[in-house]
Homo-oligomer: A and B are copies of this chain.
Amino acid sequence: MVNLLAVAEGAAVDESIVFAGVLLSLVMIYAASKVGGEISNRLGFPPVLGELIGGVIIGISALKFVVFPGVGVSAPDSLLMQFLQFTVSASPEAIGSIFREDSQVISILSELGVFILLFEIGLESNLSELLKVGTQAVVVATVGVVVPFAAGTLGLIYFFHLPVIPSVFAGAALTATSIGITSRVLAELGQLTTKEGQIILGAAVVDDVLGIIVLAVVASLAGTGQVDVKEVGLIIVSAVGFLLGVLFAGGLINQAFLSMAGIFKTRGGIIVPALVLAFILGYLGAALRLEAILGAFAAGLVLDDTDKREDLEKLLKPIADIFVPIFFVVVGAKTDLNVLNPAIPENRSGLIIASFLITVAILGKVVTGLAVFGQPGINRLAIGVGMIPRGEVGLVFAAVGNASGTLSPSLNVAVILMVIITTFLAPPLLRFIFPPRSVEA
Contact = CB atoms under 8 A, between A and B. Distances in A.
Interface in A27-71: 27, 30-31, 33-34, 37-38, 41-42, 47, 68-71
Contacts of A403: 2, 4-9
Given A282-B23, A286-B19, A405 B38 contact: no
Given A20-B286, A283-B23, A286-B88, A219 B321 contact: no
A219 B399 contact: no
A267 B323 CA distance: 12
B5 A38 contact: no
A287 B8 contact: no
B20 A266 contact: no
Secondary structure call for the A interface: helix
A271 B305 CA distance: 28
A292 interface: yes
A316 interface: yes
A374 interface: no
Contacts of A316: 318
Interface in A241-290: 260, 263-269, 271-273, 275-276, 279-280, 282-283, 286-287, 289
Nearest to A263: B38
A4 B223 contact: yes
A404 B23 contact: no
A17 interface: yes
B322 A271 contact: yes
Nearest to A16: B286
A107 interface: yes
A380 to B, nearest CB: 30
A257 to B, nearest CB: 12
B280 A38 contact: no
A378 interface: no
Contacts of A219: 1, 3-4
A105 interface: yes
A441 interface: yes
Contacts of A6: 403
B8 A404 contact: yes
A77 interface: no
Of A1, A275, A321, chain B has the most CB atoms within 10 Å of the CB of A1
A346 interface: no
A359 interface: no
A319 interface: yes
A282 B34 CA distance: 20
Nearest to A278: B23
A9 B68 contact: yes
A10 B70 contact: yes
A19 B292 CA distance: 8
Contact of A23 (B266, B268, B292): B292
Contacts of A41: 265-266
A260 to B, nearest CB: 8
A15 interface: yes
A315 interface: yes
Interface in A389-424: 396, 399-400, 402-406
Interface in A291-340: 291-292, 315-322, 325
Contacts of A15: 107, 111
Given A88-B286, A105-B104, A275-B30, A325 B268 contact: yes
A7 B400 contact: yes
A1 B215 contact: yes
Interface string A176-209: 0000000000000000000000000000000000
> 4 tightest CB-CB pairs across the interface, nearest first?
A268-B321, A4-B404, A8-B403, A8-B399
8 contacts: A3-B219, A4-B404, A5-B404, A24-B283, A30-B273, A31-B276, A88-B286, A104-B105
